[in-house]
Amino acid sequence: MQKRKLGNSGLEVSAIGLGCMGLSFGYGPATEKTQGIELIRAAFERGVTFFDTAECYGPFVNEELMGEAVAPFRDQVVIATKFGFTDGDSKQPLDSRPERIRAVAEASLKRLKTDRIDLFYQHRVDPNVPIEDVAGTVKDLIREGKVKHFGLSEAGAQSIRRAHAVQPVAALQSEYSMWWREPETTVLPTLEELGIGFVPFSPLGKGFLTGAIDANTTFDKTDFRNVVPRFSEENRKANAGLVEVVGKIADTKGATRAQIALAWLLAQKPWIVPIPGTTRLHRLEENVGAAAVELSAEDLSAIESALQQIKVVGDRYPAHLQQRVDR
Residue positions annotated with a catalytic role: 57
DSSP assignment of 219-237: --TTBGGGG-GGGSHHHHH
Sheet holding 197-201, edge to edge: 18-19, 50-52, 78-83, 117-122, 147-153, 169-175, 197-201
Query: Which own/partner contact pairs does 318-327 have at CB distance under 8 Å and 24+ positions apart?
Result: 318/227, 318/228, 318/229, 324/94, 324/124, 324/154, 325/124, 325/154, 326/124, 326/125, 326/154, 326/155, 326/156, 326/159, 327/156, 327/158
DSSP assignment of 235-261: HHHHTHHHHHHHHHHHHHHT--HHHHH
Interatomic CA distance for residues 13 and 230, integer angstroms: 31
Tell me the three-class secondary structure of 284-311, residue by residue.
HHHHHHHHHCCCCHHHHHHHHHHHHCCC
Nearest Cα neighbor of 199 from 151, 246, 133 is 151
- Beta-bridge partner residues of 33: none
Q: How many residues make up the chain in this entry? A: 327
- Beta-bridge partner residues of 14: 3
- Contact between 43 and 70 under an 8 Å Cβ cutoff? The reply is no
Element (H, E) at 208: none
DSSP assignment of 81-148: EEE-BGGG-TTSPB---HHHHHHHHHHHHHHTTSS-EEEEEESS--TTS-HHHHHHHHHHHHHTTSEE
